[in-house]
Structure 1
């Protein structure tokens, strides 16, 4: 039941009895509350001043322990696998820690974790002046990683902002040293390599701790106001390149053919030379053999040579003109008709060759004809 209801023994919650018209004694209530707390925490039920001192010492100890626990818990942190952390102690560089669970005293150490495996990207775009005083629009992208965590955290206030400015500076320097047609056509890869080399040198001199991966020139184009003229220039350059390729193709086709024809002529000339030399050597040997036979039998050999010569001449001619000595008329012998009317077969393998028998027959007919002509001429002179 409530303390102020009938039957409540007229006691208040602080241990006093109901009575009087004034309010309860607060000092006495606090004293009783402290005694109860001392009983709970082992302070006993001693006197008033002793009990108050024990309670204050115990509470202070608990507060200190709790504060230490909380302080220690606040100092625990974890570094992920892809991160590295820079630790500053009282504002001075202390250590660089790797992945895992670590503890550093709060309010004394500062921890700056940085992702060192993530590939970051920045882009730069702007109008730039080339070496030949033309304006081009260039778009460039830079991929980079954090190579030195300590330098990235401590040496530069804003490393990525420095990267953007250094990229713009390096790009303008390289483009300003290149002619327009290289920037817009085949020189883009070379420009990207030069920009990467120069930009990495800038970042190393600034000690930013940034390591470049790749630099790509994504787009290069002239200003829109001169796009039509630039297209005409590109078309003319393509026509020039096409004509060069056609000329080179024609050259590659005609030169081997000319070399082959020249080699063929050389081979034919060498073959003809070998043939002529071999034939001359054979004729010389045959003449030496004939000379030997001629020395043995001059008359027979001479007649044989004459017959062979006549055979060769007659086999290549179908008409013979004979000038009769002492007469005014020239004798004409149609050998082709004589050969055609002859009943003897041709012994040679070719139709236009004359066999020795036919030649002898022709020679006999010629001799008879000449004899008759001579007799007729003698009779005419006698009659006169």
Structure 2
């Protein structure tokens, strides 16, 4: 019994002598654990000392005052972040998986013509000022989500359901991006909006078949209009060209007839003037010119005198000439 008491006393003495070393070692480990911080390459660290902003540190290995006297918040200032509305990504990759369950309240909206539409969109943004992001606005990410939903509802509410579903999607995204950036600048939350993307816009499930039928009818109408315009562009220019060709041919024909008529009139006047001056000579010349045109067209020619008694010696009866046309 006495030996056990002595052994216990020895253990208590050893523990008392080494307790300070153990406590000191634990304090050193705790100090190292609470003072060493690593900031990633896309981040910057915001150091808070006793609840008050102290400094901003760059990426790399950094040291802060241990024992939670200073705390560090890592802000991804070089990374593009995003917020999804109306759906959530459950698995990212080459073939990402999405889910819509439980998010219908933030995507169901009322258009300007009092129709419901299901709008899914993504806001892509960057943190440009970590101090403003942490201290200017309480919970800046939730505030950004609330602002995005409010702006989208306002823009969609100013447009008809056809604009939202068809031609106005890009214009809506651009308008929301501009208004959301104005709000971020006004709130000074340190956020820059990179892009707003309308992921999908659909009518509610209960009326989707009717909307699809209307859209199909509109597409068919546009197709028929385009076909009619193509046929019009094919036929009308050709008809105009043919009409222009006919007009030009008629004008050429008219010009030719007029010029020929004028030439014949001038020729007749010239002959008449010559006839007035010397009738016999002119008559003889006209006769010879007329015979010069007629004789080549006659086949067999027999030339006799005025009484028809003698054949002129110049006649070659055996020679037959082919009429010239």
User: Structure 1 residues 282, 345: closer, same or farther in 2, change over 3 A?
Assistant: farther
| Among candidates 237, 259, 268, match of residue 287 of structure 1 | 268
User: Structure 1 residues 66, 187: closer, same or farther in 2, change over 3 A?
Assistant: closer
Cα distance in 1 for residues equivalent to 2:39 and 2:212? 55
Cα deviations across residues 237-267 of structure 1 (Å, max 9, x unaligned)? 1222122112211210122112201220232
Does residue 118 (structure 1) correspond to residue 79 (structure 2)? The answer is yes
Q: What TM-score, normalized by structure 1, do the two folds share?
A: 0.60
1:13-28 aligned within 5 A = none
Q: Is the 8 A contact 1:155 1:207 kept in 2?
A: yes
1:33-44 aligned within 5 A = none
**Could you say what secondary structure the match of 2:83 adopts?**
strand
Q: Comparing both chains, which one has the higher relative contact order based on Cα–Cα distances under 8 Å and sequence gaps of 6 or more?
A: 2
Q: CA RMSD in A?
A: 4.0
1:357 corresponds to? none
User: Structure 1 residues 312, 127: closer, same or farther in 2, change over 3 A?
Assistant: farther
1:156 to partner: Cα distance: 2.1
1:204 corresponds to? 185
1:304 to partner: Cα distance: 4.9
User: Structure 1 residues 86, 250: closer, same or farther in 2, change over 3 A?
Assistant: same
What are the ranges of 5 or more consecutive residues in structure 1 without an aligned counterpart?
A: 5-12, 14-23, 25-29, 38-58, 316-341, 351-384
Cα deviations across residues 69-101 of structure 1 (Å, max 9, x unaligned)? 975774343322111111233433232221123
1:180 to partner: Cα distance: 0.7
1:238 corresponds to? 219
| Among candidates 166, 176, 183, match of residue 185 of structure 1 | 166
1:181 to partner: Cα distance: 1.0
User: Structure 1 residues 73, 138: closer, same or farther in 2, change over 3 A?
Assistant: closer
Q: Is the 8 A contact 1:155 1:208 kept in 2?
A: yes
User: Structure 1 residues 95, 348: closer, same or farther in 2, change over 3 A?
Assistant: farther
1:221 corresponds to? 202
Cα distance in 1 for residues equivalent to 2:175 and 2:26? 61
Cα distance in 2 for residues equivalent to 1:343 and 1:213? 109
Does residue 164 (structure 1) correspond to residue 125 (structure 2)? The answer is no
Aligned pairs, number: 277
1:202 to partner: Cα distance: 2.3
Q: What TM-score, normalized by structure 2, do the two folds share?
A: 0.70
Cα distance in 2 for residues equivalent to 1:147 and 1:304? 110
1:94 corresponds to? 54
Cα distance in 1 for residues equivalent to 2:246 and 2:82? 68
1:186 to partner: Cα distance: 2.3
What are the ranges of 5 or more consecutive residues in structure 2 without an aligned counterpart?
A: 87-106, 297-316
Bigger radius of gyration: 1
1:300 to partner: Cα distance: 3.4
User: Structure 1 residues 279, 225: closer, same or farther in 2, change over 3 A?
Assistant: same
User: Structure 1 residues 233, 310: closer, same or farther in 2, change over 3 A?
Assistant: farther
